[in-house]
Structure 1
């Protein structure tokens, strides 16, 4: 049977200009399409401006005052209700949702997945991240925080520019690279190589390298593709659920390379703590899961970008749960654990993906390997591990996107 719910194409991207250009192309290609966009320039004062338009005219231009000014409040109090309302008031018209530059698409997807009202009103077709080729590498390698550029959404928004850019790319099922005519071929190849290693699961589309754009062809490459799979977990949970988290390509191309690091052995907490700055400094981006001997029950989410690194709790390993509680985990996670279960470690393992420019893969591998428990430490057993000196004690509570 035909699904009557409007299809939603989500446009994300750190370059507001490139995202807006992509939205204009989609409107030109389909006069019935609706564009929903939000201006967050006043969000820290609790004010958000919402606009709805099609190719011909502006249909809505309204201001909303939030209880608390932040990204999560904007999603909950305005973006989601607006999607539901448009689907009901203008049935049969698909929607393009253009996210503000500092909003991460995974946050939107999580909020929508938790809302029965949203899932009954609309269906998400694709999550497209628009990448402006000219500024991408500078943003990905930036050590600035959003606050340094006046882009922070709330007082406790400590995210780095590189954090947001990385997450926007990694969650996408489609990457639209917006280039400029006459751009250097090596620079274009480097951007493409970085994107492939950051999100090897995404479809890549490139435009803008010529003076004209085929509007119809571009729209056809982005819409009605059904690329979004709500069953695929977010980037930090991918390895736990059996999904690939990156590629191992030490040689690389255009100066871009990548590595995967896997280990069943846990990290020694002190040695890992001492090595974090070096590991974060080696790679443009690191992500994955880890475990440390002193906290053997906790799955640790690992993210590094912009020279900083964030470790946060992702819950408990299935091996640390009683048999009657393992059903609380998703079916995908239980299946992945069963397939790869270790008689001694259970589902505990470290899986890290690192992407860089000229990343020294042998050195980084040696550095991480030296942080693991050696044979003598391993032989003392789990109870002894719990008493190792632990610089991370009390610091691995689950992290939220805005407070990283």
Structure 2
């Protein structure tokens, strides 16, 4: 976390879906900043940066006096260089106490945070204070119920809203459950439970019209740069197991039956890790993913698929599941390349017969039948007769390719 000895100006990074209330929150912070002098960087995907206009209109700031706007792109991808230039220019030309960066509704906060924490001219000028996600709570609940709310997206981003919400929540230090007045007490408790499952360390605040004490967001010092990639509940679940399971009759299967984990008893959620050293039959595995119970709010990991030399990552968020080919298994590479990779990664877990090929999946949820899901996964593994055969399925086999295995 930040300390009083840090020299950089503190930065609060806001994320959240379009319409969640980020601009309302910005105006609230600007109107209640007290003695703080704030600079605001606003990004929007439209040709005209409406959000920046609204912020300027609702505050004492002018567009050319403390508000830097970036249009026609996402600040964490194609406009990364422009973001760096903008924040450096702000530090050089303006006098202010705290910077607030509002990322667009279709971007994740982690890449923005990395700009401020990696070795760069930006990191020398700023210190990330808190990552804040603003949720449209009714839409958040609907997304996980399979009723995906509409969301503006870039041309190449067809991910469902639940994917984006999960990634925004998973790296947050503080989550605002906005529009709480439109939810029942039971719905708010459900939303808090979902957030707790996705990010056990995040604080949650129920808000109406994004009204929150500025001290909870500005100068809170909740961000820890050493843990930005280790915060999500699924990673915590992976790290809580030792990976030592039982080989089934020496046939290469390896299942972790000790991978059950309670992320936080307060939230009533649990997780388990499934590991195997035998590939999945692609069609049977796809069927398991399509039939995951609705109470599974997050599924994540790497799958080994028969007749496919790609490491396939699985990312499920609520009712949607996507599969992406990350790259070839090291064991599938020519001997020279394989040995080079292994020499550079001495800690790589390596099986005498299968090398690095393995399945490692995390499931997080509430009120699900773990035994039934484990059995479904076991039954989806290839049989001895199938192992060497040509098998087809919906999963990608070219690096970088992605498919939607289950629609919301």
Give the TM-score category using the shorter length. 0.7 to 0.9
55-64 or 33-42, which moves further after superposition? 55-64
Seen in structure 2, the aligned counterparts of structure 1 residues 400 and 180 have a Cα distance that, compared at 3 Å, is same
Partners of 1:104 and 1:325 in 2: how far apart?
31
How far off is 1:71 after superposition?
Answer: 6.5
1:98 maps to 102
1:1-400 to structure 2, matched below 5 A, reads: 2-14=5-17, 16-24=19-27, 26-27=29-30, 28-29=32-33, 31-42=36-47, 56-58=60-62, 59=65, 75-90=79-94, 93-109=97-113, 116-144=120-148, 149=150, 151-154=152-155, 156-178=156-178, 180=180, 184-200=184-200, 202-208=201-207, 215=213, 217-219=215-217, 223-229=220-226, 232=229, 238=235, 248=261, 258-279=271-292, 283-296=296-309, 298-305=310-317, 307-319=319-331, 322-326=338-342, 335=347, 337=348, 341-356=350-365, 358-374=367-383, 376=384, 384=388, 388-391=390-393, 395-398=397-400
Partners of 2:202 and 2:132 in 1: how far apart?
9
Aligned length: 374
Secondary structure of the 1:36 match is strand
Seen in structure 2, the aligned counterparts of structure 1 residues 179 and 73 have a Cα distance that, compared at 3 Å, is closer
Seen in structure 2, the aligned counterparts of structure 1 residues 271 and 80 have a Cα distance that, compared at 3 Å, is same
Seen in structure 2, the aligned counterparts of structure 1 residues 95 and 287 have a Cα distance that, compared at 3 Å, is same
Secondary structure of the 2:80 match is helix
Q: Structure 1: which 5+ runs fail to align?
A: none
Contact residue 281 and residue 307 of structure 1 kept, 8 A: yes
Contact residue 237 and residue 272 of structure 2 kept, 8 A: no
Seen in structure 2, the aligned counterparts of structure 1 residues 241 and 317 have a Cα distance that, compared at 3 Å, is farther
Partners of 2:186 and 2:330 in 1: how far apart?
46
Contact residue 270 and residue 366 of structure 2 kept, 8 A: yes
Contact residue 265 and residue 372 of structure 1 kept, 8 A: yes
Q: TM-score, normalised by structure 1?
A: 0.73
Seen in structure 2, the aligned counterparts of structure 1 residues 233 and 253 have a Cα distance that, compared at 3 Å, is closer
Contact residue 236 and residue 289 of structure 1 kept, 8 A: no
Partners of 1:393 and 1:138 in 2: how far apart?
27
How far off is 1:303 after superposition?
Answer: 1.3
Contact residue 34 and residue 95 of structure 1 kept, 8 A: yes
Contact residue 38 and residue 48 of structure 1 kept, 8 A: no
Q: Deviations over 1:22-56 (max 9, x none)?
A: 4345442452222211232338xxx7875786974
The structure richer in helix per residue is 1
Seen in structure 2, the aligned counterparts of structure 1 residues 139 and 370 have a Cα distance that, compared at 3 Å, is same
Q: Deviations over 1:63-95 (max 9, x none)?
A: 7665xx566655325333222221222366321
Q: TM-score, normalised by structure 2?
A: 0.72
Secondary structure of the 1:322 match is helix
